[in-house]
Amino acid sequence: MMRREAAQILAMVAWTKRQLGKIEARAKAEIDVQFAEEKIAATVEVDGKPVVVGYTQMVQPKPQLQVTDPEKFVQWVAERWPTEIVESVRESFLPVLKERCVDGILIDDQGEPCPFASLTDPDPYSRTFLTKNGEETLTPVLGSWSLEDLVKVIEAA
């Protein structure tokens, strides 16, 4: 393959990814607004019968301990739990510290808050996955569609 042909293909792939990103964002906006906290089956018609090819569901991530000043956080933990320090706070110890948070603030055994870390509350997001036979079922269906067709299907829904 010539370099210019490869560049042309990569440009086309970049365009396709951008279009798919727009389609995905539009579909996610619909699913987030209308179906929060639900698991929704995706079906396509095969031989006149609906076949489940995937699912979309809302995921609420668990709060995470966010370190705002790594150096001072390490010092803070080292003073209270010196066995938990290597070069930094062990990743395996972060869930223990997360459990010590009260209203998003990390508190030590003496009730002293840590000003160098806080608990974040991530936004929920949707997750879509195919069923075991989803790819096999979708390949002939989507093989005949263009990206514009896919946009029209999403907009019509």
Regions in the chain scoring below 50 on pLDDT = none
Residue 130 confidence (pLDDT): 85
Name the 3-class secondary structure at 114: strand
Q: For residues 57 and 85, give the distance between their C-alpha atoms in angstroms, rounded to a whole number.
A: 38
Largest CA distance in the chain: 68
Residue 80 burial class via C-beta count within 10 angstroms: exposed 0-12, middle 13-18, buried 19 and up: middle
Write down the domain spans for the chain.
3-60+124-156, 64-120
Residue 95 confidence (pLDDT): 92
- Global confidence as pTM: 0.48
Q: For residues 51 and 45, give the distance between their C-alpha atoms in angstroms, rounded to a whole number.
A: 6
